[in-house]
Structure 1
């Protein structure tokens, strides 16, 4: 199940002046699969293609999850193909927090599409969850190739901001629920790697030791107590993957003062402290690197009851983008949990984006 890079400019991309006529460049319908630089991909072009392309970015896929071959169509694909758009989607060369790979893989696939099927009349980037941040980074870094982007339930945070926030979950759990004899701290980079199920079992078993502490942790993370095992488990997976990718400790919390956990002085005395690795922190800062200066229309939408992309995450990008030449637009939250959008809700959000581009008028929030 799909749960929710520095730009790579490819010389294979052709300029609009040399673009193929999309009315004759393909023999639709097309259902193309393959691999580009170890990243599986799928391209779908409907028989009545309107000449426009949607590059679709999927979300977080835990390392080790079996992959289907060929790469399957994302469940959102029919939403766009039924509206006559072509859809190109990369599976990314790696699993986990594959943001940097995903940006490069998606750009490689877009360039491949152009070479095989002609230069689209318009190109859109749409991402879900982790893919939402990928969509924003792609729009920022490759603005020349995209007309606009839609981020749904997106992890729309610069990599270093996200890593520090996720790591807070781990050190807070360790401070509130010290490991039993023989166990390791979840935040300890030297501890043996656990799978997500083992982390969730650990959290689920420890929470009853101190119900009041569990409530404080849940309130701070903006989730229910029942959601804590899944939330901490996901944060653990992402942090561990960043440690692997960055080659070291991606967070330095020696000088961080944590607040909001009750007696802050007592809490901070119990928090485990770690020295960050400079190279790893540099890697994380670019996973993704978001300037918050989009040059093309960008629409964001979230789920009201999302325990993964919770309320404190949602305004960060837009706040940082104040003063941008093209200010992003956040649509009202949709009821439901993480990425629980209906097909009509996705269509409506995408329509806001396309009408913005077509009319040149930014919609009212």
Structure 2
């Protein structure tokens, strides 16, 4: 299904905002009055399942700074919510092809992703870079799906090892199906209540997970939400920890003896190794930038993609920009523009783009 509307009073010489729906994915396109001939495809981050959506689709906070600098900005809300990386890749490409018909004279296109959108950016530039001159992943969850799911599983089994005997959460702990059914607020409160029962264990867990103690409950609840969503999308547990040796949890011998062990379901494992895979070899220049004291994308996660790129022999395609701001995705409009300019300066010119056949 496709709907297109133009803001009231818009003319060819005025700023324009178009919006619509492409195969279940709401989208918008903002074109400044003085367009520089370039397009930014903006990939937003994680949106919890069930979160209300504004109609028409609201612009990302970075949109105003980008359009003020002359860029047209297109963004998809994605056809599904949750950890929707695979859908977001398809929906963003479908929108890019549609936008080509709206922007005659387009000569360069960039992909800009925030948080989960970082994985969308990198996967696109690895697998189907034909429409882009480069990309930026800001505060990005730049991990292959299997690596991400393994990290999330570690968080959940560690929490259950230290706090699973309390009564603030369903029996069976964070991996239980009953826990997956909890509303987000109830899940967070149950985790926060459990953490209050053992301050020493909570401090140890915060150190191991590389987050501040006051952010620990939020980080753990997010990890639980995302892993259960991956389980649902994959049709089973996508990773396992049989035979894994953990460290950094105090008495490591006791932890490895007592921690819960789970098997990966082979079909689910193929999901995280397929649609959610990353190789570290983008085919276009890409810049990565993170924030200081980010409780969501912590240092161990930030290091993953540069390591992949080095092993793939693609480090020359990667710029790792200095950390700025605070928290998760704490970028000003000026910082977003500066990150984009760093990639624009390294990209090679290309001929004008033409519309490709629509995705089916």
Kindly indicate whether residue 99 of structure 2 is the aligned counterpart of residue 109 of structure 1. no
The verdict on how the C-alpha distance between 1:294 and 1:210 changes in structure 2, with shifts beyond 3 A counting, is: same
Partner of 1:84: 70
The correspondence of residues 181-260 of structure 1 with structure 2, limited to 5 A, is 183-192=170-179, 193-260=181-248
Give ranges in structure 1 of 5+ residues lacking alignment: 1-25, 361-365
CA contact (8 A) 1:56 1:125 kept: yes
Partner of 2:320: 330
TM-score w.r.t. length of structure 1: 0.88
Give ranges in structure 2 of 5+ residues lacking alignment: 1-11, 351-360
Using the alignment, how far apart are the partners of 2:269 and 2:174 within structure 1? 16
The correspondence of residues 128-207 of structure 1 with structure 2, limited to 5 A, is 128-180=114-166, 183-192=170-179, 193-207=181-195
TM-score w.r.t. length of structure 2: 0.89
Using the alignment, how far apart are the partners of 1:183 and 1:191 within structure 2? 6
- Which of 5, 23, 29 is the equivalent residue of 2:15? 29
Kindly indicate whether residue 298 of structure 2 is the aligned counterpart of residue 310 of structure 1. yes
1:26-79 Cα deviation digits (max 9, x unpaired): 765321100001000000111111111100000000000011111111111111
SS where residue 117 of structure 2 aligns?
Answer: helix
The correspondence of residues 251-330 of structure 1 with structure 2, limited to 5 A, is 251-322=239-310, 323-324=313-314, 326-330=316-320
Which deviates the most, 130-139 or 316-325?
A: 316-325
CA RMSD of aligned residues (A): 1.8
CA offset at residue 119 of structure 1?
A: 6.0
SS where residue 357 of structure 1 aligns?
Answer: coil
CA contact (8 A) 1:150 1:353 kept: yes
Using the alignment, how far apart are the partners of 1:188 and 1:77 within structure 2? 38
Using the alignment, how far apart are the partners of 1:337 and 1:185 within structure 2? 32
Which deviates the most, 212-221 or 319-328?
A: 319-328
CA contact (8 A) 1:132 1:154 kept: yes
Using the alignment, how far apart are the partners of 1:142 and 1:28 within structure 2? 33
Using the alignment, how far apart are the partners of 1:273 and 1:119 within structure 2? 56
- Which of 90, 99, 102 is the equivalent residue of 2:85? 99
CA offset at residue 190 of structure 1?
A: 3.5
Using the alignment, how far apart are the partners of 1:340 and 1:154 within structure 2? 12
User: Number of paired residues?
Assistant: 335
CA contact (8 A) 2:170 2:176 kept: no
Using the alignment, how far apart are the partners of 2:202 and 2:315 within structure 1? 44
CA contact (8 A) 1:295 1:325 kept: no
Using the alignment, how far apart are the partners of 2:342 and 2:175 within structure 1? 45
Using the alignment, how far apart are the partners of 1:92 and 1:359 within structure 2? 30
Using the alignment, how far apart are the partners of 1:80 and 1:133 within structure 2? 21
